[in-house]
Structure 1
Amino acid sequence: MAIRKDGDKWLVDIRPNGVVGRRVRKKFDTKSEAIRFEKYLLAKASSDKEWNESKADRRLLSELIEIWYKLLGYQLKDGLRRKNKMIHTCEGLGDPRAEKLTPKMFLNYRFVRTEAGISGKTLNNELCYLNSMYNGLKASGEVSYSNPLGEMKMLKLDERELSWLSSDEIQHLLGTISSFSENPHVLLLTKICLATGARWGEAEAITLRKLSQYKLTFSQTKSGKVRVVPISKELNDELVEHLEEFDVFGSSISAFRRALVRSKIQLPKGQAAHVLRHTFASHFIMNGGNILTLQKILGHSTINMTMRYAHLSPDHLYEAVSLNPIENWL
């Protein structure tokens, strides 16, 4: 014990900084004084200890983006695209020190982008990518500080109108492609998307190996899941003949966009080939298809995405008419 009786005095005998520290010996008339002195020495020793504070992180945001890609981003399917997007954002922010980026700096940047006509969805994506980068690097131990944008809110966006083609518009589009497109793939790719709800890139990736027994296998999808969708014998035979001649589909999205413009079909801004996926889903539900089956066909990870089409069901919300409180009075 550091305090003991020594004759008629109380002796404090202690090394407050440990066995290698300076030894302190002092006598007091009372035990309570000795105890208070001991506590004082221990508290002083604790407060005097050097704090091994880490050096300031002076890396620029652009440097952190490169580090993120090498550690984490390369694992993502769209990792390179995200990296390029973040570099563009970084340039707009003036490439500050990553640790010193503030919500106010990002708000000013976002205001300038908004005034330039950039969509809210794009701006939310930019914030989302930076948040993901900071959180990922903190979790991996690459940075010691918390995400400086972690408390920022996303912009509230209006729900986008769901656009799909009517039966007449489908026939008109297919006719336009047949009559004017010189691309040998675009017509069949359009049919695949309309028949299966596939994304354009998924349709372009089809090979003979992914075609069997009137079924198409889609792999390396956006969700990472493999899904199999049945097709008709007619489409199956057309695919076999086409792929035996060409082996693979060439990139044809530009040809599709040109055909869409020529068809004069009006779509909301930002929609082109994706309208084919919406069209499949919409007609599937309108023709009495099951919403859970549609989720599996489209490969949605949650039912929430698929529920966007529920209102097209023939009996959707019919109770609003049959069960409303004044129905029997009309």
Structure 2
Amino acid sequence: MGYLAEVNYTDPHTGRRIREQKSTHRLDLAREWRQTRKADALRGEVRGKKDRLKPMLFSKYSEEYLSQWSKVEKRESSYRRDQVSLKRLNHTLGKRQLSEITRRDVEKYVAERKGEGVTSATTNRELCCLKNMFRKAVDWGYLKSNPAWGVKQQKETPPEFGFLTENEIDRVIECSAPHMKAFLTLAIHTGMRRGELFKLEWRDLDFQTGFITVRYGKNGETRHIPMNSIVRQTLDKHPNRIVKGQACPYVFSRPDGSPFKWPEGGFQGALQRAGVTRHIRIHDLRHTFASHLVMKGIDLRTVAKLLGHRDIKMTMRYSHLAPEHLQAAVEVLTQRTPQRQAQREGTGSP
């Protein structure tokens, strides 16, 4: 007497329904085979899939990944980061068949980069790119599994950041080009990222409620930033550019009406004229915003919300700037309630 085991599932790569059967003389073996194949199918392991994997060089696949996924689905800055990472990854893995790359190869690559003295941050960006590439290769049917899955990232040293003092803020704005004064003022008084300011539109400004809507945040989330009096005055005086008889939608734009793109060099020139000799980047204006809030006693959760940080750990880098605020917090423990104070002095009821 024989037993016939059967399992039906959908091929995740082609969408076709597949039926597998196996004959055996033992009922327990038939049941075991059926359970095993059902579990395999749930993991995406399709019968004969190895034979159907399309041969693909890593270098060839990286081109497809960049053009059909990274460029289309990611922010421009992330796409450029992928380009940089893949240039180095292709140097090592470019001539390898995609299906032949193993987890050991990935771990070896990470170790080699560490041995070359490359920063942990750079290595982690490359590893992240590799993981995302392989994940998409599985989705597209080029790989059975992700060989980079489970490879640990390197521990990163928190990056140092600079910020401008109040006097330096005034001097830098004064020494900047006329068309840049409003941009710098908003960067310092709102904490918005450079890219967010470039995409800021007049419709995002609500002078009635006093809020700026950030629609193109780094995490894809919308947030609202209140205008202080300086921001309001600056925007009131900032002209709305007219291009071919039409009002330009962008607050900061080029003469042709396209979003403004300001080179880092222009900012460095303003710093030099203002007498700021240490290294400060445009992004450090965001740090300037956060640093001054913390130094004036604003709690970190409020600062995190204004900055659009998902994780409070990102904001904790500013905590050392508020020693007096932290001292005042722990000093609360020394304060006693009236009842406890009376008991201590022996005047209250036991």
Same fold (TM over 0.5): yes
**SS of residue in 1 equivalent to 2:224:** strand
Q: Give the partner amino acid of 2:65.
A: W
Aligned pairs for 1:61-140 within 5 A: 61-69=58-66, 72-73=69-70, 74-78=72-76, 80-95=79-94, 96-101=96-101, 102-103=105-106, 106-107=109-110, 110=113, 114-115=116-117, 118-138=118-138, 140=139
What are the superposed Cα offsets for residues 214-262 of structure 1, whole Å, 9 maximum, x if unpaired?
Answer: 3222111101111221223443243243232464422223321332344
Q: Give the partner amino acid of 1:243.
A: P
Report whether the alignment pairs 1:282 with 2:295: no
After superposition, the Cα gap between the structure-2 partners of 1:321 and 1:86, relative to the gap in structure 1 and judged at 3 Å, is same
Residue of structure 2 in register with 1:265 after alignment: 276
Contact 2:99 2:143 in 1 (8 A): no
Offset, 1:53? 6.0
Residue of structure 2 in register with 1:228 after alignment: 224
**Normalising by the residue count of structure 1, what TM-score does the alignment of the two structures yield?**
0.70
Contact 2:58 2:93 in 1 (8 A): no
Identical pairs, percent: 26
Contact 1:121 1:157 in 2 (8 A): yes
Contact 1:65 1:86 in 2 (8 A): no
**SS of residue in 1 equivalent to 2:313:** helix
Q: Give the aligned length.
A: 275
Offset, 1:75? 1.8
Report whether the alignment pairs 1:303 with 2:300: no
Offset, 1:304? 1.8
After superposition, the Cα gap between the structure-2 partners of 1:141 and 1:207, relative to the gap in structure 1 and judged at 3 Å, is closer
After superposition, the Cα gap between the structure-2 partners of 1:169 and 1:236, relative to the gap in structure 1 and judged at 3 Å, is same
Contact 2:50 2:144 in 1 (8 A): no
Q: Give the partner amino acid of 1:106.
A: Y
Residue of structure 1 in register with 2:175 after alignment: 176
Q: Give the partner amino acid of 2:109.
A: F
What are the superposed Cα offsets for residues 31-66 of structure 1, whole Å, 9 maximum, x if unpaired?
Answer: xxxxxxx67xx99xx9xxxx8462265311123224
Counterpart of 1:200 (choices 186, 194, 201) is: 194
Distance 1:251 1:16 in 2: 68
**SS of residue in 2 equivalent to 1:216:** strand
Residue of structure 2 in register with 1:153 after alignment: 152
Consecutive unaligned residues in structure 1, runs of 5 or more = 3-13, 18-37, 325-330
After superposition, the Cα gap between the structure-2 partners of 1:234 and 1:134, relative to the gap in structure 1 and judged at 3 Å, is same
Contact 2:194 2:282 in 1 (8 A): yes
Report whether the alignment pairs 1:219 with 2:215: yes
Contact 1:285 1:291 in 2 (8 A): yes
Offset, 1:135? 2.3
Offset, 1:126? 0.9
**SS of residue in 1 equivalent to 2:213:** strand
Q: More deviation in 291-300 or 73-82?
A: 73-82
After superposition, the Cα gap between the structure-2 partners of 1:119 and 1:173, relative to the gap in structure 1 and judged at 3 Å, is farther
Offset, 1:273? 0.9
What are the superposed Cα offsets for residues 68-90 of structure 1, whole Å, 9 maximum, x if unpaired?
Answer: 34664322224532442343123
Report whether the alignment pairs 1:59 with 2:53: no
After superposition, the Cα gap between the structure-2 partners of 1:70 and 1:233, relative to the gap in structure 1 and judged at 3 Å, is same
Distance 1:315 1:15 in 2: 76
After superposition, the Cα gap between the structure-2 partners of 1:253 and 1:161, relative to the gap in structure 1 and judged at 3 Å, is same
What are the superposed Cα offsets for residues 90-146 of structure 1, whole Å, 9 maximum, x if unpaired?
Answer: 33215122223313652475257x35xx533122101111112212332x2523333
Offset, 1:322? 9.4
**SS of residue in 2 equivalent to 1:228:** strand
Residue of structure 1 in register with 2:235 after alignment: 239
Distance 1:219 1:319 in 2: 35
What are the superposed Cα offsets for residues 247-290 of structure 1, whole Å, 9 maximum, x if unpaired?
Answer: 4422223321332344453556xx50111111111111111213
**Normalising by the residue count of structure 2, what TM-score does the alignment of the two structures yield?**
0.66
Distance 1:201 1:15 in 2: 65
CA RMSD of aligned residues (A): 3.4
What are the superposed Cα offsets for residues 148-199 of structure 1, whole Å, 9 maximum, x if unpaired?
Answer: 233433232222224222222222322332xxx3xx4322111101101111
Offset, 1:316? 1.3
